[in-house]
Structure 1
Amino acid sequence: MANRFQIDGEEVLDGQVKEFGNSAHVTVPKRWRGANVKVVRTSEPTEQDEE
């Protein structure tokens, strides 16, 4: 069962987390530079880290 969060904000984007070196990132519009953001995972990851 998923948790429910209520977040007040200005704009919502749907995206996918992509590999970035030893980490991962989500791309947002350049106009968001300097803004505060929150990232919420909405599904289980499809790829697992290999250790």
Structure 2
Amino acid sequence: MERFELNGHEVVDGDVRATGNGAHVYVPRRWLGADVKIIRVSEPDQDDE
């Protein structure tokens, strides 16, 4: 696993959920218009495909 160091304001710990042909991670509405970064911290489940 790689190690990353980021400066930021808040962290949301959540799950990626299937949506259409892709996937979404939900964040608070107050984050609309903010610049965000998503870091995958585990391997995807193979049975979800």
| TM-score after normalising by structure 1 | 0.88
Q: Give distance in 1, aligned partners of 2:26 and 2:12.
A: 10
Q: What is the root-mean-square deviation of aligned Cα atoms in Å?
A: 1.0
Q: Give distance in 2, aligned partners of 1:43 and 1:29.
A: 22
What aligned pairs does 1:1-51 form with structure 2 within 5 A after superposition?
2-47=1-46, 49=49
TM-superposed deviation, 1:35: 0.3
Unpaired segments ≥5 residues, structure 1: none
Unpaired segments ≥5 residues, structure 2: none
Q: Secondary structure at the match of 1:31?
A: helix
Q: Give distance in 2, aligned partners of 1:13 and 1:46.
A: 20
Higher helix proportion (structure 1 or 2): 2
Q: Which runs of 4+ in 1 moved over 6 A?
A: none
What is the aligned length? 48
